[in-house]
Structure 1
Amino acid sequence: NPVGTILNNFADIYFDLNAPVRTNTTYHEIEINFYILTVIPLKEAPQLKVNAFPNPFTYATTIQVEGETYHNLTLMVYDIMGRQVAVLSENNTNQIELPRNNLETGVYVFKLLGNGQAISAGKIVAQ
């Protein structure tokens, strides 16, 4: 559809065997204003293995790297809304322990940096 096209939309909602209830008609106008998300691939390292244990966790979880040595590991943790909720950094080790502290029950996304470069990402669950 070309820019400026208007798409009208409505829905029929069914409750039990009653006649459908139609929602108000809404519209969407096709525009060119949109965000392009750029995905930056993580460092290719087939020998690299990253574990999070325990996962799910109650009190703390450990993020451990196997297969490569880093002088500095940085763990960045984000809630499901994308807000950064924790940043931890350790030197001369292959693991970082994330204490639960004030993390609410839920799913979190982490990004792991090795010597300042993104090396892994994943999900952890606080229960």
Structure 2
Amino acid sequence: MRTRPVLVYDGDCAFCTSCVRFVERSIRPRCEITPWQFADLDALGTSQLRAEHELLWITPDGVVDGGAQAVAKLLLSARGAWAVPRALLTLPPFRWIAHGLYRLVADNRERMPGGTPACAMPPGRRSETP
């Protein structure tokens, strides 16, 4: 049984990978970090469809949070000054704003700094909730 949460991201996306490298260096969350392409998604209690759609935070007991709430959980596991943004991401209206911004970035990640055509989500999966 896992004892630490797992952060699952799109390892084929240069923008996502750059963001995860920043998180590892600067935020240093207390979790395992793995690209979905190398994760046992069934064992983690999620699907490829969901992993392609958003960043995932999976607790040791199998609770899966995605998107902006995965970011909030990531910040929750960090130390220090990350408590303020973490708290804001869990409260309305900041939670709603964070969700909208997350979707905007995720749906356009190939256009973000470091993004490549490989980062693009399949057209049929943009802004869909799995």
TM-score range, shorter chain: under 0.3
Q: Please identify which structure carries the higher helix content.
A: 2
Q: TM-score, normalised by structure 2?
A: 0.23
Q: TM-score, normalised by structure 1?
A: 0.23
Q: Please identify which structure carries the higher strand content.
A: 1
Structure with larger RCO (C-alpha < 8 A, sep 6+): 2
